[in-house]
Amino acid sequence: MISQQERQQAADALFEAGRTSKPIPQVSKTWPKMEIEDSYVVQQLWADKRVQAGARVIGHKIGLTSRAMQQASKMTEPDYGVLLDDMTYADGARIPVSRFSAPRLEVELAFVLGKRVGGKNVTIYDVLDATAYVTPALEIIDYRTEVPRAIVDTIADNAAAAGMVTGGRPVRPMDVDLRWCAATLSKNGIIEESGVSAAIMGHPAIGIVWLANRLARHDIMLEAGHILLAGSFTRPVNVAAGDVIHADFGPLGSIGVSFY
């Protein structure tokens, strides 16, 4: 474990890295005694600084939802990060790459809550009941530290969450079989990735169940209106200035953005 002062120093360093888009050395190297719980505290302190600077919390993202990614990170469960209002982009947006260090895209589903959910022993039925609608989404992930990274680096760095794009067709969670929502991700007219949402722990809502129960340890609830990114069902795709992206979710519509 590290001290509260060291946690704050790590959060301050990550805040500055995000502000300048200049990665810092891995926090696991600067503070080698950092543990998982330390890294979540650092993430919260970083989020607090972002809120103090004018941002607003609008939800959470869930990462490491596939068994392969958990094994690669030597984890036995997902991780999570915070979504802020200044991270959001609409379908059709032109996105400046200068805001990021090395941006990549992942294909996801976003759950938008219609009512509060949380506490101990949350079930998939609680999550589906609380969800107003589900919509296609892209997550922009980025590193505010150097690589390679330990899991504490990723968690402290807001689980790599840097932005999101939502679009396509919103659907009520019971109107489609959410396990079989599929998508392709094209860059400059070439399909780079494809996947199906059942790859997210068997059902994309399962990650949100995990998140609700995990946050209950800290007496945090998932609030009405929050957007929850349920986890990627494709590998990340690198993007750079000049790239045009199209994500086709079939019956759920599509998302298109470009980078400059």
User: To the nearest 10°, the Cα dihedral for 74, 60, 173, 232?
Assistant: -40
Cα atoms found within 13 Å of the Cα of residue 52, Cβ hemisphere only: 8
> What pLDDT does 64 receive?
86
Q: pTM score > 0.85 for this model?
A: yes
Determine the average pLDDT of the residues in 10-23: 95
Asked if the model's pLDDT at residue 68 lies above 70, the reply is no
Please state which CATH number belongs to domain 4-259: 3.90.850.10
> What pLDDT does 185 receive?
98
> What pLDDT does 32 receive?
97
Mean pLDDT of the chain: 95
DSSP β-ladder status, 104-113 and 237-238: antiparallel
223 vs 217: CA distance, rounded Å: 16
Determine the average pLDDT of the residues in 185-206: 96
Return the H-helix or E-strand segment holding 228: strand 227-229
Determine the average pLDDT of the residues in 245-260: 98
CB 57 within 8 A of CB 51: yes
Closest CA relative to residue 172, chosen from 130, 204, 140: 130
> Sorting pLDDT into bands at 50, 70 and 90, what band is 69?
low
CB atoms near residue 88 (< 10 Å)? 15
Asked if the model's pLDDT at residue 71 lies above 90, the reply is no
Contacts of 232 (CB under 8 A, 6+ apart): 63, 65, 66, 106, 107, 108, 139, 195, 200
| Token pair for 178 | 């959410």
Share of the chain above pLDDT 70, in %: 97
Cα dist. 83→58, 72, 88, 162, 164 in Å? 6, 24, 8, 8, 9
Determine the average pLDDT of the residues in 175-201: 96
Selected residue with higher pLDDT from 75 and 190: 190
DSSP β-ladder status, 79-84 and 182-187: unpaired
Weakest-pLDDT range from 85-89, 116-120, 163-167, 183-187: 116-120
Asked if the model's pLDDT at residue 70 lies above 70, the reply is no
> Sorting pLDDT into bands at 50, 70 and 90, what band is 107?
very high
> What pLDDT does 218 receive?
87
Question: Burial level of 170, CB count in 10 A (0-12/13-18/19+)?
Answer: middle
Each domain of the chain, given as residue ranges in start order, spans 4-259
Helices (H), the chain: 4-20, 27-30, 36-52, 67-72, 124-130, 151-156, 204-216
